Structure 1
Amino acid sequence: MLITVQTRLRNPENWPDQLREATDVIQRESRSSDAVVWLPTNRRALAVVYPHGFGGLRDITLAISPIKAENFGGVEVSPSSISIGLNDPAVTRVWLVDGEIPWRGPSLDSLNLSKINSLERKFRRIGFWWFNSLSLTLYEK
């Protein structure tokens, strides 16, 4: 009986996080010029844990790195600066790294709401991947 439970728990589909699978998608689907937006800010810690997957993406909302800020999320640019970063002609595709269910609603603070609003105004959604603990949405101009 315990073997059955252990076998089920060890199945990757039942892991609480599937970061390796998420980084596999990014490795397979990303381009060298792609940018990333983290929702909420502390999800940026994934880039530290899995630098080979997330590290190649240009972080367009980061003002101060997590190392310099001495935290996992770093310090992000102001909400008005997010729109400026997305207007950069070099930014044609953006990955949104979000929670297990794309998080929208009144609990979003102005910074994170600005990320969503700016992305959805300037870009169209071309891909979506869901994992147990996070989702990836790919946007393109």
Structure 2
Amino acid sequence: MGTEFSSSVTIAETVQFSLSVMYQHSWLTTHTETYSSTLPVPKGYKGWIDYADVVQHISGTWQTHYDDRHWGHYFWYVHDNITHPVTEGTDGQRRQIIPVIRPMTSADWRSCAMAPAKGTNAVAKKATIRS
């Protein structure tokens, strides 16, 4: 944060007026979350850890009431499924860690620097992390 003000006035043979004003500010807010997780990945499998918001899934029938008829009805019913982030009732947890393991495909093996030779059971040395 800072301010600066300066002025200059000359009155004589030459009239001179000068004004300079400067204002600046900056605010910095940081938030850090740290999670630790171990994911054992067996031979021939691929693993990663997804990091996601805590969400709530709601499924049901929404009922809407109108004071006047709309398209011939006062009441409308719509079945829907909704997923949205949860902000309350999570004991302070805002994110969740989701470990995922699946067998490697032939495309996964080709993308590794150490693809197995036919008839061998080599272990991939590549880790994949998605967020």
Return the TM-score normalized by structure 1. 0.17
Structure whose alpha-carbon radius of gyration is higher: 2
Q: More strand per residue: 1 or 2?
A: 2
Q: More helix per residue: 1 or 2?
A: 1
Return the TM-score normalized by structure 2. 0.18
